[in-house]
Copies of this chain bind each other. A is one copy, B any other.
Amino acid sequence: MTATAELFRRRGYHGTGLKDVTAAAGATTGSLYHFFPGGKADLAAAVITETGAVYQQLFEVIADEHGDPANGVRAMFDGAAVALEDVDFVDICPIGTVAGEVASTDERLRRAADDVFMGWTGAAAARFRAAGLPARPARELATTVVAALQGAILHARCRRDAAPLRTTGALMAELVAARVATATVGRSRRSADRAHR
């Protein structure tokens, strides 16, 4: 699975053959089909789900470290920038490109990618709710942040420069801070109104 994820990050789904996987993993085709009877599609589904969970854990760790959700969002983008630089702009996550390749042709992989994106969105929304946002605005903000992160990674790879990620992260942090501030003011006003009654 690690070998497959690395190949996907360099060449995408259709650019990766099962022979590349077995060669990179030092595995036989027989053992590969033993664990993944459906071949490449099975492997891809497992890679999408597993990588999705790892990135969600990473998000939770960063969010815990920062407390303030605007700082947490900025740290996610800045962390992705450093990670991209470290690997010389190979994709840092095998999900985005693969999702784009298969969304219209493989229903199972489309669903696996969608589940991951929904998981990330839910995790970010929970943090925004904890910071005072109502459920719906929290979810909308999370949707936007997750989309912007994916798009910014793509642009940074095409630029071979992490600047688009850092810029987008700074503006997303600004948007999160503004929304949290508005929600907090709204909440204080409502409690003040209740106190006056």
Contacts and interface: CB of A to CB of B under 8 A. Distances in A.
Copies per assembly: 2
Interface string A58-80: 00000000000000000000000
A171 B154 contact: no
B158 A144 contact: no
A108 B137 CA distance: 41
How many residues of A sit at the interface, in one of the four size bands?
35 or more
A150 interface: yes
Contacts of A160: 110, 114
A39 interface: no
Interface in A160-180: 160, 164, 167-168, 170-172, 174-175, 178
A160 to B, nearest CB: 8
B174 A147 contact: no
A119 interface: no
A119 B12 CA distance: 25
Nearest to A9: B104
Contact of A175 (B89, B97, B100, B174): B174
